[in-house]
Amino acid sequence: MKIAVQTEAFDLAAEVGALYQANPKVGAVASFLGLVRDINEGQGVSTMSLEHYPGMTEKALIQIVAEARQRWEVLDATVIHRVGTLQPTEPIVLVAVASSHRGDAFAACEFIMDFLKTRAPFWKKEVTPAGEHWVDARESDDRAAARWSR
Amino acid sequence: MKVRLLYFARLREVFATGQETPELPAAVQTLADLLDWLRQRGGAWAEELAEGRAYRVAINQDLAERDAALHENDEVAIFPPVTGG
């Protein structure tokens, strides 16, 4: 399992490859790549600034992956989340899950992403020529995470 | 009792501080007590930490409920709903 919070970019192919190249039991890897969207709708250049709670962020991500492993067959998993200043189109988060079969890989990947969005302490601030503002949490993210309640 | 308080994101900005290590009065025993004590500072503290406002609290890096007990040297973080991913 790899959990990383970093400012640097990551290599998608290398990260996904590392989940299966040394493990012939892996039959499926599902991955999710989150990108910085230009939500400023073309009104000048906007950037995204990411803050996190060092220590708790990593702890929360480890707990989320551990819970996914209890629910599905997960052979390995990688979660990388970037912090600092990011431009539109830049990758911000990668969740990749290796399993024997696609069903478990898809479900665990979506579960980890839904809980990352509602439980892991990251905060986005949008910076535009007109000023900066903190991005509001979305109720739809809470509903997405609530779907997994048993 | 002394605890380490951390504030993040928008709350860090409106409180104009990221952390403090206050000596709490003896009557402050739970998270709810601590929030009451902070609200008594008035201004942004009373406004942002009012009942019904959306914020989260973690004790020693785990999300905590308001009735959680506080202990010496606990790390208590107060922050807005998260918006990562």
> Do the domain assignments include residue B85?
no
Q: Can you tell me the distance from the alpha carbon of B70 to that of B76, in angstroms, rounded to the nearest whole number?
A: 9
> Do the domain assignments include residue B24?
yes
The residue in chain B having the minimum alpha-carbon distance to the alpha carbon of residue A37 is B85
Q: What is the CATH number of the domain that holds A113?
A: 3.90.1170.40
Task: Report the predicted TM-score, pTM, of the whole model to 2 decimal places.
Answer: 0.94
Mean local confidence (pLDDT), A40-66: 89
> Do the domain assignments include residue B60?
yes
Q: Is the model's pLDDT at A41 over the cut of 80?
A: no
Strands (E), chain A: 2-6, 28-35, 47-52, 76-82, 84-86, 91-99, 122-128, 131-134
To the nearest whole number, what is the mean pLDDT of chain A? 94
Instruction: Among A27-41, A49-63, A114-128, name the one with the lowest average pLDDT.
Output: A27-41
> Do the domain assignments include residue B75?
yes
Residues in chain B whose beta carbon is closer than 8 A to a beta carbon of chain A?
Answer: 6, 8-10, 54, 58, 61-63, 77, 79-85
Q: Is the model's pLDDT at B19 over the cut of 70?
A: yes
**Chain A stretch 37-56, residues whose beta carbon is closer than 8 A to a beta carbon of chain B:** 50-53, 55-56
Q: Is the model's pLDDT at A150 over the cut of 70?
A: no
> Do the domain assignments include residue B73?
yes
Instruction: Give the pLDDT score at A86.
Output: 96
Q: A79 CB contacts (<8 Å, ≥6 apart)?
A: A2, A3, A4, A61, A64, A65, A93, A94, A95, A112, A116
Q: Which residues of B touch A113 (CB under 8 A)?
A: 85
> Do the domain assignments include residue B84?
no
pLDDT digits (tens, 9 = 90+) for A6-21: 999 999 999 999 999 9
Mutation target vs A (from B55, B61, B75, B76; most A CBs, 10 A cutoff): B61
3-class secondary structure, B59: strand
Structural Rg of chain B based on CA atoms: 12
Considering its fold, how many domains does chain A have in total?
1
The residue in chain B having the minimum alpha-carbon distance to the alpha carbon of residue A112 is B85
| N residues, chain B | 85
What CA–CA distances, in Å, run from A37 to A45, A51, A89, B10? 12, 17, 6, 21
Instruction: Give the pLDDT score at A149.
Output: 86
Considering its fold, how many domains does chain B have in total?
1
pLDDT digits (tens, 9 = 90+) for A90-100: 999 999 999 99
Q: What is the CATH number of the domain that holds B35?
A: 3.10.20.30
Q: Can you tell me the distance from the alpha carbon of A36 to that of A125, in angstroms, rounded to the nearest whole number?
A: 11
3-class secondary structure, A147: coil
CB A112 within 8 A of CB A68: yes
A82: domain range?
2-146
Q: Is the model's pLDDT at A60 over the cut of 80?
A: yes
Mean local confidence (pLDDT), A36-50: 78
Mean local confidence (pLDDT), B48-69: 96
Nearest to A109 by CA among A139, A79, A150: A79
Q: Can you tell me the distance from the alpha carbon of A120 to that of B85, in angstroms, rounded to the nearest whole number?
A: 9
CB contact under 8 A, A137 and B83: yes
Q: Is any Cβ of chain B less than 8 angstroms from the Cβ of A145?
A: no
B21: domain range?
4-79
As a whole-number percent, the residues of chain A with pLDDT over 90 amount to 85
CB contact under 8 A, B84 and A113: no
Does an H or E element contain B75, and which? strand B75-79
Nearest to A112 by CA among A57, A82, A69, A54: A69
CB contact under 8 A, B77 and A81: no
Nearest to B13 by CA among B79, B82, B57: B79
Compute the nearest-CA separation of A25 from chain B (Å). 29
